[in-house]
């Protein structure tokens, strides 16, 4: 079976940026995998780190189950996603275990370093999937499958300096917006935290607003998720585009894109 692996920084990042595309890939016959690298331990002003990490794990597990995704355990605390060999060995082990045809991950530039480092780890882990001399943690044999990496929109659709990022592929999520809200609503602990820490009136409405902005970029869809394809070298063939092929009736190729 073909597989798709979503690698994000924190519990609820997949829900905000990638969940509609994951749902559609599952409908297209893919086995889908859900992996937050950090455990969410800093996402509360009410609970201690261990308590909120446990709560957020349960919420993420429920969210993954809601869309039929295989759940993978986090590897570190919030703000401890570092681009180093130890973390790379863990992420590379996960990539080899899943052997995905598609990897969905964060934008290479985003408003916080956890997102950016999660992206770097996902990309390099995919790159070293077939290198037997790179040891993983736990040990996993190298795999030789082609993998295509896609970058989600940065949160707010802007880079850290406020520049608008335009997607290259736009995936229609209009009829999935309510399912996306139900999935995100599994993260009950985050409503108050996001309201306090980031001034969000409603995290469900904010997610819908992000999809609506990509929909407006498309000029066609009411709600959508945006993607940029990573350069193929070391990953797949120069024309491989399995996301577009799997979701072709749902995908708009943007007239302008911001590059991989």
Q: CA angle, 146 as apex, 140 and 151 as ends, to 5°?
A: 95
pLDDT recorded at residue 129: 98
Distance from C-alpha of 30 to C-alpha of 92, rounded to nearest angstrom: 21
What is the pLDDT at residue 74?
Answer: 98
pLDDT of residue 71: 98
Q: Which two tokens stand for residue 164?
A: 């608008």
CA 227-202-191 angle, 5° bins: 95
pLDDT at 113: 97
User: Residue 188: its pLDDT value, please?
Assistant: 86
The rounded Cα 90 to chain-centroid distance in angstroms is 17
Cα 155 to Cα 13, 14, 54, 131, 198, distances in angstroms: 9, 11, 25, 32, 12
Q: What is the pLDDT of residue 88?
A: 98
Buried b (16+ CB within 10 A) or exposed e, 115-137: bbbbbbbbbbbbbbbbeeebebb
Considering the entire predicted model, what is its pTM?
A: 0.95
Give the start-to-end residue ranges of the domains of the chain.
3-253
Q: pLDDT per position in the chain (260 positions), as tens?
A: 999 999 999 999 999 999 999 999 999 999 999 999 999 999 888 899 999 999 999 999 999 999 999 999 999 999 999 999 999 999 999 999 999 999 999 999 999 999 999 999 999 999 999 999 999 999 999 999 999 999 999 999 999 999 999 999 999 999 999 999 999 999 988 777 666 666 655 788 899 999 999 999 999 999 999 999 999 999 999 999 999 999 998 999 974 443 33
**CATH T-level fold of 3-253:** Rossmann fold (3.40.50)
User: How is 191-250 classified by DSSP, letter by letter?
Assistant: HHHHHHHH--S-HHHHHHHHHHHHHHHHTS-SSEEEEEEPP-TTTS-TT--HHHHHTGGG
Beta strand extents in the chain (DSSP E only): 3-8, 31-36, 70-72, 102-105, 148-152, 169-172, 224-229, 251-253
- Residue that has been written with the tokens 């120069």 in this structure: 238
Whether the CB-CB separation of 88 and 137 falls below 8 Å is answered with no
Give the dihedral sign, CA 175/104/7/144: positive
What's the chain's Rg over C-alpha atoms?
17
Tokens found for residue 126 = 């995919």
Distance CA 227, CA 34 (A): 17
Q: List residues bridging with 4 in a β-sheet.
A: 32, 102
- The pLDDT value recorded for residue 260 is 38
What is the reported pLDDT for 200? 58
Q: What is the pLDDT of residue 258?
A: 38
pLDDT at 75: 98
pLDDT score for 202: 76
DSSP letter assigned to residue 120: H
């Amino acid at each position: 079976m073909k597989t798709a692996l979503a690698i994000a920084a924190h519990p609820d990042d997949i829900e905000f940026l990638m969940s509609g595309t994951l749902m559609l890939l599952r409908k297209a016959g893919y086995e889908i995998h859900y992996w937050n690298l950090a455990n969410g331990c800093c996402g509360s002003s009410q609970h201690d780190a261990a308590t909120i990490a446990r709560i957020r794990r349960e919420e993420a597990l429920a969210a993954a189950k809601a869309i039929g995704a295989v759940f993978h355990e986090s590897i570190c605390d919030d703000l401890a996603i570092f681009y180093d060999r130890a973390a790379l060995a863990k992420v590379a082990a996960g990539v080899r275990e899943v052997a995905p045809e598609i990897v969905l991950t964060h934008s290479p530039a985003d408003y916080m370093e956890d997102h950016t480092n999660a992206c770097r780890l996902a990309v390099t882990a995919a790159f070293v999937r077939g290198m037997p001399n790179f040891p993983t943690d736990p040990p996993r044999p190298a795999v030789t499958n082609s993998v295509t990496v896609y970058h989600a929109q940065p949160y707010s659709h802007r880079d850290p300096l406020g520049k608008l990022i335009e997607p290259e592929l736009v995936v229609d999520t209009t009829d999935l917006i309510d399912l996306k809200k139900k999935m995100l609503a599994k993260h009950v602990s985050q409503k108050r935290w996001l309201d306090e820490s980031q001034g969000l009136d409603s995290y469900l409405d904010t997610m819908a607003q992000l999809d609506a902005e990509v929909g407006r970029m498309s000029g066609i869809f009411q709600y959508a998720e945006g993607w940029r394809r990573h350069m193929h070298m070391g990953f797949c063939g120069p024309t491989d585009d399995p996301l577009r092929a799997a979701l072709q009736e749902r995908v708009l190729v943007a007239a302008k894109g911001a590059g991989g």
